[in-house]
Chain A
Amino acid sequence: MKQAYYILFILIAGLSSCDPKPIDLEIQMEKPRIIISPLFNSENEIGILVTRSFSSLASVQNPFDLVYGSRINSARVSIENDGRAYNLAGVSPVYLSGDIGFRPYSEYRVIVIDTLTGEKAEASTVMLPQVKPHAIDLQRSDKAADTAVTLTLDIQDDASVKRYYLVTFNLNEEVRGKSGQKPLSGKSLYDVIEIFDNSAAANGHLTYEKTYRQNIVGFGGNDSVIVEVSEVSGEYYNYLSIYKKSGSVINQLTGEPINMPSNVRGGAGFFFLTYPVYKEFILGEH
């Protein structure tokens, strides 16, 4: 009997692998580059975030600290269009302008110069027109275990050229916050980035429908969802496709790392101009 215990002990010991001491590794970091990222824009306004890349060993616990830590205090930011240059004012890291007057199908070039080091980064893009929707709808449906919302879009599109669209969602929890209620759990709708092209367009209509399940658990009252639809360039569509893939858990576990594409020469990031159309839905009333 004693021998049986010994054998059992050895068997169990055999299954318990010792944890070897990890080995340190030195990896040479890349030289910091100028990063350009538009914050927002409308017909007249634009805000651009200008920072530098930094070591991959920097903590990402608080992104706001990193934003300020990576700002370029000595940056000069301007936008050029049709031979005119507009200097963007502001306090690093955000540079603003309210009087450019963006025109659809016109090309704009952003130029960032670090006056201290002389480094320069620039990127160009075309302003695309605001989407003209026939209808934007968001329907709520409650089932036993969860709540789903179905997005239905009907957009004007004559399919004469290839076009790309971006749909995002913002949750408006203002009312809930004021009443002291807990924040919503269904934040995953907030993470949705929906992109599609106009290959399904016919007779001047492009329709798109998608259901998001278990995304708005606990939604109710005056909580609202703001649907934002915009036309984007093919380049930015490709950027968003890769952005979405890079966030996939499966790809992070098994795939090769993905470097995000960039249209910034001399730096990184992506410069784009969109003019979204918005519609707000109070789902509690549906």
Chain B
Amino acid sequence: MFKVLALCQFILVYPLAVFCQEGYTLSGKVIDESTGETLESARILCSFNAVRTNSKGHFSIAARRGINRIRISCNGYDTLDMTISLSSDSHFVFQMKPAVNMLEGGKIRSAKIAKRESSYAKISSAETGRLEIPVADLKKVPAIGGEVDLIKAIQLTPGIKKGTEGAIGMYVRGGGADQNLLLLDDAVIYNAGHLLGFFSIFNSMAVRDMTVYKAGFPAMYGGRLSSVLDIRTREGSMKTYGAEGSVGSIASSLTFQGPLIKNKLSFIVSGRRSYIDRCFRLIGKDMPVFFYDLNGKLSYKITKSDRIFFSTYYGRDILDWNGQIRLKDTAGTWNLLHNLHVVSNSDLGNFTNTLKWNHSGKAASYNVSIVNSSFNYSIDGKIAGNHVFVKSSIKDIGIKTDYLIHTGSLAKLKFGIHSFYRLSKPNILSSAGTISDVQKAQYAPGTGNTEHAVFVQHERNLSRKLYAVYGTRFSTITVNNGKMYSGIEPRVSLRYLKDSSNSFKLSYTRMKQYVHLVSSSSLALPTDLWYPVTEKASPEISDQVNLGYYTDFSKKSLYFSAEVYYKSFRNIIEFREGTSLVLNDNFEKDLLVGKGSAYGTEVFLNMHAGRFSGWAGYTLSWSTRQFDSINNGKTYYSKYDRRHDISLVGNYKIAKKWMISASWVLSTGNPFTARIGQYIVLTPGRNDFTTLPVYSLRNSHRFSAAHRLDLDICYKASIRKKAEIEMHFSLYNTYNRTQPSRVEVVDDGTGNYKFRQKGLFGLIPAISCNFKI
């Protein structure tokens, strides 16, 4: 086995490494001292250079001959300072000590330093549109029903807008909900929603870190137009066993981790189950749906440099409604009671598997992953001897390889191949009983596509202050009748470092998307279907230019960024007005192809001062669409175009055991198409009248602005220094303000009618408890 690994390494990596090396390189790995877990995104400062560790905790940085001062910092860990003498390229393993109570007493200083250096890393890197907020910080954001949801937390950052109130839909820089690439340990997630999209499938207990890209996409990412959300799950400790869990109003979770073979093989398993159905039953109401999910990961250390990981996710939403509905009898009265039973057959949810081999060498590192992902939904309905069964699924299996070679002082070469086979089977329907006379069974044969991509990206200093990242991705897909789409997706990012506190960055990226989401709702409904490109619907394409300014105000515990962007969309799809997307086995005939654009500016201020930490974000943006057959061909605002979006998030440590968190959001109302009149016509073929509505131009009206304050008070305690407990008391929508999402016509009390806006949720108090042993 080792010979094979070594041979692979030699053939694939060594020749390039030999040709590309120059000067001294300090490389190494950063790990957690207590668990042995590798640490991603740790900052390494060496003289004037700064880098960050990759997903496997590995880094490489240019160093001087002789004495080098090194500083390594990572959120949640004490900063490590040391001097290292180099006379050749060297490789070290750095162990970081966790700052257990980071905000207590003397540890505040190291937290400050960590944040300050985090700012420097952001300023000095060439990446634009990248958002990396530690999961620990996101967990402090007040959550609806106390159920921590990482996607809802990142909706509070600039450029990422939510859809329906309380839902997990993400609309990034004018893009649609289907234009986000969601990766869980490299596996694509096709539907990230539980309970009709009000909760995400990402269990915060199982997530180690998440990175969002809104622009300046690295060449290794592709397949979606607007964003990449790359989520990595935690690894189990190689040294000690541990357990943690949470009990909340909506769901509870439990996590176990530890070594199976000490310092060799570790495991982590995390499960979650909602019990909103049970709680509703207590108050005499029916909520026939719940969800559960399970994350698991095995990490095996083959050698010092080689590791194998296997991670899996399995989640299901269970719908089981058994009730009675009333139909008319022969006399025309509603007296006929029929039993209606609707179940999801435990076949509604995601299942992903990732097997990954990681090699982190002195001069090069690479990953080889085999990933498999699937999303199914099936609904089984029975009424009065009739039976209708609907099933859809999308599955993929593929291989990803990526290589990273350090080619010299701050220079890196990254390249790789991704190859996938995707099979989608939408709307398979069978019926039994007399209903089969009307609703015929339909079986849409699966559509299989093979998608390939190769990418290469090089990073290097052009001068002392100018740093460049440039590369390209070439992707291809085969569709029906052997037709093939392919294209080049260039990526360029430039950074000009004015001084150690100020930088300017410019990036250009092209993205291509080979699958479309067939959805008519802003919720992540399980009935949403993914369809590959067809002969009629070409791949969607976006081009984005991003210009930004970044500063930490001379290290005053602040980080500030301001970015302006322009993004154009081509070949985006919509459906002809009135298309029914339910039980439709031929969407292609109703597809419309159009274009769009999005532009705006985003301002972000992150602050860590004493007991306070938090951020403020502001977005000013425009997003438009144009289709020849919609809105008389005129350009219109997209569904989630919002002119202004402000979010303020803060955490304050009141006392040793008490902390308060708050978030306040204000956003321009969503656009909508208003009913601006009505008229009467004769009903076709009949002698009575029908009232028809008159609608405004598409999305030409807006709801009122929405604002909301959420609060969370946290009490922390430890039991005999062996267990930690956190109690959270949270209030969602504290001042009970309507978040407008629909308009209704009501009597104004004088016999006349008026329009009124309603939302989904008012004030929701909640209590939850987290524990760790």
Contact = CB atoms under 8 A, between A and B. Distances in A.
B674 interface: yes
Interface string A76-96: 000000000000000000000
Contacts of A242: 577-578
Contacts of B19: none
Contact of B249 (A15, A22, A169): A15
Interface string A258-284: 111000000011100000000000000
A46 B582 CA distance: 40
A255 B676 contact: no
B754 interface: yes
B330 A145 contact: no
Contacts of B695: 257-259
Contact of B580 (A35, A39, A185, A245): A245
Interface residues on B, range: 35 or more
A25 B249 contact: no
B36 interface: no
Chain A interface bracket (under 10, 10 to 19, 20 to 34, 35 or more): 35 or more
B333 to A, nearest CB: 8
Interface in A164-214: 166, 168-170, 182-185, 190, 193, 211-213
B594 interface: no
Contact of A217 (B328, B701, B740): B328
Contact of A20 (B283, B579, B762): B762
B693 interface: yes
Contacts of B680: 35, 37, 49, 51, 63, 66-67, 70
Given A168-B685, A183-B332, A25 B736 contact: no
13 contacts: A8-B282, A12-B283, A20-B762, A22-B746, A25-B755, A27-B674, A29-B677, A56-B678, A59-B753, A144-B434, A213-B435, A217-B328, A255-B579
Interface stretch (B73-81, B149-157, B422-430, B764-772): B764-772
Nearest to B575: A255
B461 interface: no
A153 to B, nearest CB: 15
Contacts of B673: 256-257
A33 B677 CA distance: 10
Nearest to A269: B681
Contact of B582 (A20, A25, A38, A250): A250
Interface in A223-245: 228, 240-243, 245
B681 A63 contact: no
B279 A166 contact: no
A28 interface: yes
A22 B577 contact: no
Nearest to B742: A22
A213 B765 CA distance: 48
Contacts of A52: 679
B190 to A, nearest CB: 19
Nearest to A167: B685
A144 B435 CA distance: 12
Interface of B: 145-146, 249, 276, 279-280, 282-283, 328-332, 384-385, 434-435, 437-438, 520-521, 577-582, 673-682, 684-696, 698, 701, 703-704, 733, 736-738, 740, 743-746, 752-759, 761-767
A145 B740 CA distance: 44
A98 interface: no
B580 A248 contact: yes
Interface of A: 7-8, 10-30, 32-33, 35, 37-40, 49, 51-60, 63-64, 66-67, 70, 143-146, 148, 166, 168-170, 182-185, 190, 193, 211-213, 217-218, 228, 240-243, 245-246, 248, 250-251, 254-260, 268-270
Enumerate the 8 nearest inter-chain pairs by beta-carbon distance, A residue then B residue, closest first: A168-B685, A245-B578, A185-B332, A18-B762, A37-B681, A53-B679, A20-B762, A218-B330
Contacts of B330: 185, 217-218
Contacts of B746: 22
A258 B685 CA distance: 21
A145 B678 contact: no
A18 B759 CA distance: 11
A258 B578 contact: yes
Max chain B CB contacts within 10 Å: which of A7, A20, A248, A268? A20
B684 A184 contact: no
A10 to B, nearest CB: 5
Contact of B434 (A37, A143, A241, A245): A143
Contacts of B329: 185, 217
A251 B578 contact: yes
Given A166-B685, A211-B437, A213-B438, A10 B765 contact: yes
A284 to B, nearest CB: 13
A20 B733 contact: yes
B705 to A, nearest CB: 10
A268 B694 contact: yes
B438 A257 contact: no
